[in-house]
Amino acid sequence: MMIGETPDRPLRGSSGVTGSRGLGSLFSLAALCAGLALCAQTPAYQTPPKLVVGIVVDQMRTDYIYRYWDNFGTGGFKRLCTGGAFLRDAHFDYVPTKTGPGHASIYTGTPPMHHGIVANDMYQRATRATRYCAWGPDSISGVGAEDRIARRSPANLLASTIADELELRFDRRSKTIGIAIKDRGAILPIGRTGDAAYWFEGGSDGAFCTSTWYMTQLPDWAQRFNGERLANSYLGQTWDLLLPRERYHTPLPDDNPYELPIPGASSPTLPVDLKAIRTATGRTKVIEWTPWGNTLTTDFALAAIAGEELGADAITDLLAISYSATDWLGHQVGPRATELEDMYLRLDQEIARLLDELDKRVGAGNYTLFLTADHAVADVASYIADLKGSAGYPDMVALERGLNAALSKAYGPANWVRRIINEQVFLNDSVIAARRLDAGKVQRTAADHLLRDPIIADALTATDLTINQYCEGLRRSMQRGFMPQRSGDVVFVYRPGYFEAEMPGIPKGSEHSAGWNYDTHVPILFYGHGIRPGNVLRRASITDIAPTLSMIVGMTMPNASTGAVVTEALVR
């Protein structure tokens, strides 16, 4: 008899009686039937979700869920937290924690040392210039916008993503689409072989665009969407608080010395006349700093679901959504601002709207969704310093001057430092070669000088990071974010609370880049098909998302994935 077949006749005990041995046989029969039933069930990976939805909230800290909880509605963050698996101790475990590396790490399941996106802007020794992480080669042109904005691609990405593997799993029949205000938030999740990425061009029409890496013209549904000019419509209003002011969670008044105004506004306070800014600038770009940047993102995502019929058949599709406005605003005002909480309360409504539409179009239980962030953010350093906390802003001019002086003293006068960027020092390799110096020794001298600075927690040379293996703490994070061909000669980390000012010389606004908890600790929420609800309290890595989704879909993990499957979150 094959497993799962029904026997021709009842099973009986060998004695044919109903005594103790007969009861034992009945118990055996019950156990056998239960086992047969389990064997007959279709494994979860053979019935994958119709649609995987990835949501990245740019610059979201886990504590926002706790702080804003009582002001959230029931259909957004609360629905995901109570109906899904909430990984409450999830972290990025590399530096620098930036948007490009964050999106790439989430979708590849591996850190920058393997996928190659080591920063948003990566310094190139050969050209002595930076290359943008979503740079497009000269062969790429913009579609739906001018090349300056739309000539973008995933060409710098060196590892496969969830989207790439999904395309292979279903023989190129999956539809894989990325959407964001920021181009890098749309492009990097979809990898090099995904179908499409769309981002906001911020011009007078407020359109979404793409590049010839993906297509030669926008699909009809995207053209129709752009024709509605929704960005202009949203910018015809005034931004004021959604709730009474006393409901918001902040120790600061709205008018305080720690915030920068959004571009075009006269002060960092609400209300803001968005129509006046739109009229004065002639562009729609200001929407990127407002809650309606997120609304517009949801609008376009819903248009893509309908236009591409995502999740309409048994072939698993992927929709990667990144909400960028939270980051643009967060840099200006920091994590304690009334404006930021107001944006999150409105984002909560957008997530509820998205979930409701997914239920209607794809069907509740037919999709798997995750929500996370590409990094978190530090408190405004001047605010913490005013509270007598340890925080501040490094003097970058003095840092570079001192480093040049130390190297000149050791090896003779020269312009030793080419560039300091992303907490990495790029030394003048031409001078090192011309003087026939040992590059490792010059790096060591530079690192030792940096370590004398009381606001620098650690500094490692490229040689250190190449030949040693660091298994814990900051040094592990430094190594996981380091790639010899794209990183500096010396990597350093500031002490907690210290970071380069958003605007040089102005102690306002906030930043992210460090390996400390305020930058690394982000939420991970899994929801829907294949997910077991509950809290996961052990330490988890952002790189665990991709392998966990691979188990649900039943596909190969991204090729460089190093994360672990979150077994507690899966129905088994």
Catalytic residues: 99
Measured distance CA(31)–CA(40) in Å, rounded: 14
Two structure tokens written together for 371: 């929500």
**How far apart, in Å, are the Cα atoms of 273 and each of 237, 238, 268, 343, 393?**
7, 5, 12, 16, 32
Task: Dump the DSSP string for 366-407.
Answer: SEEEEEE-S---PPPHHHHHHTT-S-B---HHHHHHHHHHHH
Measured distance CA(1)–CA(79) in Å, rounded: 46
**Residue partners of 21: CB distance under 8 A and separation at least 6:** 13, 14, 15
Cβ atoms of 236 and 274 closer than 8 Å = yes
H or E stretch at 420 = strand 417-421
Q: Both ends of the chain: CA-CA distance in Å?
A: 26
**Residue partners of 361: CB distance under 8 A and separation at least 6:** 305, 306, 311, 312
Cis upstream peptide for 271 (omega within 30°): yes
**Cα-flanking dihedrals φ and ψ of residue 67, to 5°?**
-70, -35
For residue 21, give the 3-state DSSP assignment: helix
SS (H, E, C) 269-280: CCCEEHHHHHHH
Cβ atoms of 374 and 103 closer than 8 Å = yes
Measured distance CA(186)–CA(214) in Å, rounded: 12
Tell me which residue of 557, 570, 568 sits closest to 168, measured CA to CA.
557
Measured distance CA(142)–CA(216) in Å, rounded: 9
Instruction: Compute the Cα dihedral for 8, 9, 13, 14 and give only its sign.
Output: negative
Q: What is the separation of C-alpha 564 from the centre of its chain, rounded to a whole number of angstroms?
A: 18
How many C-beta atoms lie closer than 10 Å to residue 193's C-beta? 16
Helix, strand, coil: what percent of the chain each, to 5?
40, 15, 45
How many C-beta atoms lie closer than 10 Å to residue 372's C-beta? 22
Measured distance CA(110)–CA(159) in Å, rounded: 9
| Number of helical H runs and strand E runs in the chain | 22, 19
**Residue partners of 3: CB distance under 8 A and separation at least 6:** 36, 39, 40
Measured distance CA(395)–CA(302) in Å, rounded: 46
